[in-house]
Amino acid sequence: MIGLAGGPAAPADAAAGRSGEVVMVADAPALSAPTVAEDCLTPGHCVLRVEGLEKSFRRGLPPRRRQIDVLSGASLMVCSGELVGLVGENGSGKSTLMQIVVGLLGRDGGEVERRGRLGYCPQVPMLWDKLTVDEHFALFARAYGLDDDARERAVADLLVELRFERYRRYRVEELSGGTRQKLNLALALMHQPQLLLLDEPYSGFDWETYLRFWEMADRRRASGMGILIISHFLSERDRLDRVYELKDGEAVVA
Ligand SMILES: Nc1ncnc2c1ncn2[C@@H]1O[C@H](COP(=O)(O)OP(=O)(O)OP(=O)(O)O)[C@@H](O)[C@H]1O
Ligand SMILES: [Mg+2]
């Protein structure tokens, strides 16, 4: 989870800036008008605009070194109050796209513009085995710049919403996979981001938690959060305002 409200993402952002800066417009009224990306109903409220994104990786050693093109002109938009899906086969570049938006990876071409506080729930939880759940909340609250009251309120609500209050004093290495995923999600949400990026956030959730997750997402959408969620399940399409499919490096509205 990375928060960009002066939080721990700053070094990653700076690193990404070396090969392509991600523009963050904290209090700007609106992002640039989309040209390639699918228009949304209220462009003035967009919190994320990705346009013509390109990314290749190099693999192997010379003379067998080869270039793998993952993204070749991917464009999408997310507006405030939208729940947008990103689907695609394994290896199609979904996580790569999200990591570029967050600033963890640089890009080879294209533009990324985002607005407001960012929450990021990575596909593989980035947690510390020896720290407790409470210690994670304290660490992230510090990074997000939350005071003690705001932190306690946010943590109390999230622990109840996700039902893992009883694990507050457990170290991460003592948690089940699903509970780690709950913590991963809670850390991305505790500073009430305006743009939330979720990379398969519910893998490991039991059915009840999975349903509760969608209720949480609905509540946050209703409060104006813009959410981009990577998913494999086409059955979730009805829950989403728009779905992009990543195919051959491009994002098309599915
Ligand atoms: N750091 C890296 N170095 C080299 N290749 C990479 C790197 N990261 C990702 N790739 C390659 O980029 C492609 C896209 O990977 P990515 O993780 O974005 O896919 P994905 O759509 O998220 O897949 P999944 O559904 O399995 O999570 C894959 O072929 C992967 O092997
Ligand atoms: Mg992935």
What is the C-alpha separation between 162 and 179, in angstroms, rounded?
Answer: 9
pLDDT value of residue 36: 40
CA of 194 to the centre of ligand 1 (A): 27
What are the CA-CA distances from residue 147 to residues 1, 90, 119, 140, 144 (Å)? 19, 40, 18, 11, 9
Tell me, yes or no, whether 223 lies in a domain: yes
Q: Whose CA is nearest to atom 4 of ligand 1?
A: 57
Contacts 24+ apart (CB under 8 A), 205-210: 205/178, 205/181, 206/178, 209/162, 209/163, 209/178, 209/182
Question: Which backbone phi and psi does 167 adopt, to 5 degrees?
Answer: -100, 10
Give pLDDT < 50 ranges for the chain.
1-20, 28, 33-38
Tell me, yes or no, whether 111 lies in a domain: yes
Q: Show the CA angle centred on residue 225, arms to residues 115 and 247, nearest 5°.
A: 75
**Number of CB atoms found within 10 A of residue 26's CB:** 12
Tell me, yes or no, whether 229 lies in a domain: yes
Q: What is the CATH number of the domain that holds 23?
A: 3.40.50.300
Mutate which of 54, 56, 94 to test ligand 1's pocket (most atoms within 8 Å of Cβ)? 94
What is the residue range of 54's domain?
14-253
Q: Which residues line ligand 1 (CB under 6 A)?
A: 57, 59, 68, 70, 88, 90-96, 123
Tell me, yes or no, whether 5 lies in a domain: no
Mutate which of 66, 87, 96 to test ligand 1's pocket (most atoms within 8 Å of Cβ)? 96
pLDDT value of residue 25: 52
CA of 43 to the centre of ligand 2 (A): 27
**Could you give the number of structural domains in the chain?**
1
Tens digits of residue pLDDT in 208-229: 999 999 999 999 999 999 999 9
On whether the CB atoms of residues 168 and 132 are closer than 8 A, the answer is yes
pLDDT value of residue 40: 53
CA of 169 to the centre of ligand 2 (A): 30
User: Ligand 1 atom closest to Cα of 59?
Assistant: 4
pTM confidence score: 0.86
113: enclosing H helix or E strand: strand 109-115
What is the C-alpha separation between 15 and 23, in angstroms, rounded?
Answer: 13
pLDDT value of residue 251: 93
